[in-house]
Amino acid sequence: MRHYISIRDLDRNQIDHLIDRAARIAVYGADAQPLKRKILGLLFFEPSTRTRMSFESAMLRLGGSCMNLGGVEVSSMAKGETLADTIRVVSGYADTIVLRHPKVGAARLASEFADVPVINGGDGAGQHPSQTLIDLYTIHQSMPLDRIKIGLVGDLMYGRTTHSLAYALTRYNAEIHAISPKGLGLPESLKHDLREAGCEVIEHDSIEEIIRDLDVLYVTRFQRERFPDPASFFDVAASYRITPSLLQGVKDNLILLHPLPRVDEIDPAVDSLPYARYFQQARNGVPVRMAMLLEVMQ
Amino acid sequence: MNSDKYQEGLLISAIQNGTVIDHITGGEALIVLRILGITGSTNECVSVATNVVSSALGRKDVVKIENRELKDEEVDRIALIAPKATINIIRERRVVEKKGVDIPDTLIGVLRCPNPCCITNTNEPVSSRFSVQGKRLICDYCDTVIGSDISSHII
Ligand SMILES: [Zn+2]
């Protein structure tokens, strides 16, 4: 039985296979209702409308059905049931479980108690492998994944999407440029792992100094609560904002990604420039998740 | 008789049945006792020698516990903080088993994950699980790394 818990569990061949499968689905669609009569259990213990809807959309497009846990406040979790018990029970109702949970490692735990495949839909500040596969797939649509120069911008200390993407890119010998204010850089242990895996990791505190060399710029949000006062948050957010003028002189084929939702990180004037790929990235959630669902249920 | 044996003989006498933990890094015997749950209020008859002159280690500590044979998970805990220790199980004054303290690849239920948001720090029915990679211990659930001050995370 195959689970998708962490991108670290996937080697390069498995990632390439999923990307190819998603690409075929995007072009040709899936066979007629390959998951007819299959049920996907969506267990969202914290709200994430986009992730939930895109898994639902993927399942419905494959001819299957979805079953929602409902609000956590009305579920048995509110009565103090453990996640382990919930998973054992729901395993009897669904053919695959997508779990979103506020605690880190919840999906790993779920996979140990489930009799059906578990897909991690994000656990706390931990892993969110389908997001990383979507990111890789979107990059792959524009350029080969090998040896890209990618800039990661934002709160790199706590940003789970950037950690997971950086880790996945070690499989493709990327050159990683970590762009963040002091104190919000990549965690030491992650840098150690990336370098150990043969990746070059270069740190910067401004986007200007590196943007003209990049193939991909991956932008994420700063969280206000990480800053001691509102003024320093606004200063930092403003100095890392992507604007049309910042993009002058970049490589023609630079692509700009963002896991969305964005707040102020990217000026809306950038949306119409050829670099902007974040809405395409969001749309790619469906074929990528279709590929994952087919892998675990077919 | 080598000098180690001679020194020990002077400090603590041989035991009839139980465990002798030898070659603990000098000064760390009290940490070993703590991770074995031995305190002033428990009943074991324990002898401790600290900073004994040792030809191999310079200074070493020795702990002798009467009428108690260490379990494997206790040996795992000791391995983390005293990787050079040797453990002798004594029955009728004879060494019947000699355990090296190899750190295993996986430590289950030995360390508490320092990440307060880790699922292992909730009431779920799981033990903590850490993978050992050289000097780094990595939580199998949340990827938190323990790189230093291991003894303060031992359960
Ligand atoms: Zn943990």
Task: List per-block mean pLDDT (blocks of 10 residues) for chain A, which spans 298 residues.
Answer: 95 98 93 94 91 96 92 64 94 96 95 98 90 98 97 92 95 97 91 94 96 97 85 89 97 96 94 97 97 96
Looking at the structure, tell me whether residues B84 and B118 fall in a common domain.
no
Looking at the structure, tell me whether residues A153 and A259 fall in a common domain.
yes
Looking at the structure, tell me whether residues B129 and B57 fall in a common domain.
no
Does some domain include residue B1? no
CATH, residue B54: 3.30.70.140
- Of the pLDDT bands very low, low, confident and very high (cuts 50, 70, 90), residue B155 is confident
How does pLDDT run across B29-81, given as a tens digit for each residue?
988 888 788 877 777 888 899 998 887 768 899 999 999 888 887 888 888 87
The rounded distance, in Å, linking the Cα atoms of A169 and A136 is 8
The rounded distance, in Å, linking the Cα atoms of A15 and A135 is 12
Does some domain include residue A151? yes
Q: Which of B69, B84, B99 is the last residue of a domain?
A: B99
Does some domain include residue A1? no
Does some domain include residue B6? no
The rounded distance, in Å, linking the Cα atoms of B25 and A99 is 46
The rounded distance, in Å, linking the Cα atoms of A176 and A173 is 9
Looking at the structure, tell me whether residues B95 and B39 fall in a common domain.
yes
Cβ distance A104 to B115 less than 8 Å, yes or no, reads yes
Looking at the structure, tell me whether residues A277 and A160 fall in a common domain.
yes
Looking at the structure, tell me whether residues B26 and B95 fall in a common domain.
yes
Among the listed residues A65, A14, A23, the one whose alpha carbon sits nearest the alpha carbon of residue A42:
A65
Domain total of chain A = 2
CATH, residue A163: 3.40.50.1370
Looking at the structure, tell me whether residues B115 and B95 fall in a common domain.
no
Nearest CA of chain A to the CA of B20: how many Å? 37
Domain total of chain B = 2
- Confidence (pLDDT) at B41: 78
Does some domain include residue A256? yes
Query: By the 8 A CB rule, do A171 and A9 touch?
Result: no
- The Å distance, Cα A32 to ligand 1 centre, comes to 42
- Confidence (pLDDT) at B72: 80
Looking at the structure, tell me whether residues B114 and B91 fall in a common domain.
no
Does some domain include residue B3? no
The rounded distance, in Å, linking the Cα atoms of A13 and A25 is 18
- Confidence (pLDDT) at A258: 97
Q: CB contacts < 8 Å between A and B, how many? A: 48
Please name the amino acid found at residue B117.
C
Does some domain include residue B9? no
Flag whether B142 is marked binding.
Answer: yes
**For residue B125, which residues of chain A lie inside 8 Å, CB to CB?**
82, 84
Does some domain include residue A237? yes
Flag whether B117 is marked binding.
Answer: no
Looking at the structure, tell me whether residues B29 and B93 fall in a common domain.
yes
Does some domain include residue B53? yes
Looking at the structure, tell me whether residues A214 and A183 fall in a common domain.
yes
**For residue A106, which residues of chain B lie inside 8 Å, CB to CB?**
119
Cβ distance A189 to B117 less than 8 Å, yes or no, reads no
Does some domain include residue A2? no
Q: Which two tokens stand for residue A47?
A: 């709200």
Looking at the structure, tell me whether residues B67 and B92 fall in a common domain.
yes
Looking at the structure, tell me whether residues A143 and A184 fall in a common domain.
yes
Give the CA distances from residue B134 to residues A188, A197, A248, B145, in Å, rounded to whole numbers and listed in that order. 16, 15, 46, 12
User: For residue B130, what are the domain limits?
Assistant: 106-153
pTM of the model: 0.87
Looking at the structure, tell me whether residues B93 and B145 fall in a common domain.
no
**For residue A118, which residues of chain B lie inside 8 Å, CB to CB?**
none
Looking at the structure, tell me whether residues A271 and A134 fall in a common domain.
yes
Q: Which of B99, B115, B145 is the last residue of a domain?
A: B99
Q: Is the pLDDT of residue B9 over 60?
A: no
Looking at the structure, tell me whether residues A122 and A192 fall in a common domain.
no
| Burial of residue A82 (number of CB atoms within 10 Å: 0-12, 13-18, 19+) | middle
- Confidence (pLDDT) at B10: 46
User: For residue A221, what are the domain limits?
Assistant: 130-282
CATH, residue B128: 2.30.30.20
Looking at the structure, tell me whether residues A162 and A143 fall in a common domain.
yes
Cβ distance A103 to B117 less than 8 Å, yes or no, reads yes
Q: Is the pLDDT of residue B95 over 50?
A: yes
Query: By the 8 A CB rule, do B73 and B51 touch?
Result: no
Does some domain include residue B134? yes
Does some domain include residue A44? yes
Does some domain include residue A156? yes
Q: Which of B57, B73, B99 is the last residue of a domain?
A: B99
- Confidence (pLDDT) at A153: 97
Give the CA distances from residue B3 to residues B44, B55, B82, B86, in Å, rounded to whole numbers and listed in that order. 28, 7, 22, 17
Flag whether B139 is marked binding.
Answer: yes
Does some domain include residue A71? yes
Query: By the 8 A CB rule, do A191 and A158 touch?
Result: no
Looking at the structure, tell me whether residues B86 and B118 fall in a common domain.
no
- Confidence (pLDDT) at B39: 77
Give the CA distances from residue B89 to residues A40, B15, B34, B67, B94, in Å, rounded to whole numbers and listed in that order. 54, 10, 19, 10, 8
- Confidence (pLDDT) at B62: 92
- Of the pLDDT bands very low, low, confident and very high (cuts 50, 70, 90), residue B2 is very low
Looking at the structure, tell me whether residues A69 and A156 fall in a common domain.
no
Looking at the structure, tell me whether residues B29 and B58 fall in a common domain.
yes
Looking at the structure, tell me whether residues A47 and A119 fall in a common domain.
yes
Looking at the structure, tell me whether residues B68 and B94 fall in a common domain.
yes
Cβ distance A102 to B117 less than 8 Å, yes or no, reads yes
